[in-house]
């Protein structure tokens, strides 16, 4: 598998983990040493414990369905930057579903086994905040 294919597989892994509601599977896609997640309208989460809280909070709103589209990656040695777009639907137990769409960027690091994991990721919506 090429590096580009492995990075694309990482994106698929993100969708699978998020859509299944599996926080541990999501955390397994991050490096062990000081990963960061930068969610919209929130402080940066540093470390797996803080990222677990972010992910659990996303799932607390209802059933998530996320579809990431990989656009491209720039690879230099054991580091890669990739980016793309997403669509997201949150279906709460009560009330109407909420749809969102936006873009994401992710810094990744090659692991000793050749796989890639997330160092930092950020995502934000293309939909303006309500006034």
Give the pLDDT mean for 107-118.
95
What values do phi and psi take at 71, rounded to 5? -95, -50
Residues 6+ apart with CB under 8 A from 124: 40, 102, 103, 104
pTM: 0.91
How far apart are the C-alpha atoms of 122 and 39, rounded to whole Å?
Answer: 6
The per-residue pLDDT for range 101-111, each reduced to its tens digit, is 999 999 999 99
Domains of the chain, first to last: 3-123 (3.10.450.50)
Q: What is the pLDDT at residue 61?
A: 86
pLDDT recorded at residue 110: 96
Residue 123 buriedness (CB in 10 A; 0-12 / 13-18 / 19+): buried
**Vertex 126 angle, CA 69 and 35, to 5°:** 60
The band of 129, judged by pLDDT with boundaries at 50, 70 and 90, is: confident
Q: How high is the pLDDT of residue 76?
A: 97
């Amino acid at each position: 598998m090429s590096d580009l294919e492995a990075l694309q597989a990482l994106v698929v892994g993100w969708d699978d983990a998020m859509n299944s509601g599996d926080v541990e599977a999501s955390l397994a896609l991050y490096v062990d040493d000081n990963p960061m997640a930068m969610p919209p309208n929130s402080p940066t989460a540093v470390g797996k414990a803080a990222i677990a809280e972010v992910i659990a909070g996303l799932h607390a709103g209802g059933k998530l369905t996320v579809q990431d589209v990989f656009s491209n990656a720039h690879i230099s040695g054991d580091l890669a930057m990739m980016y793309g777009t997403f669509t997201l639907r949150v279906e709460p137990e009560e009330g109407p579903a909420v749809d969102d769409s936006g873009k994401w960027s992710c810094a990744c690091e090659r692991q000793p086994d050749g796989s890639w994991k997330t160092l930092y990721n950020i995502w934000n919506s293309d939909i303006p905040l309500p006034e």
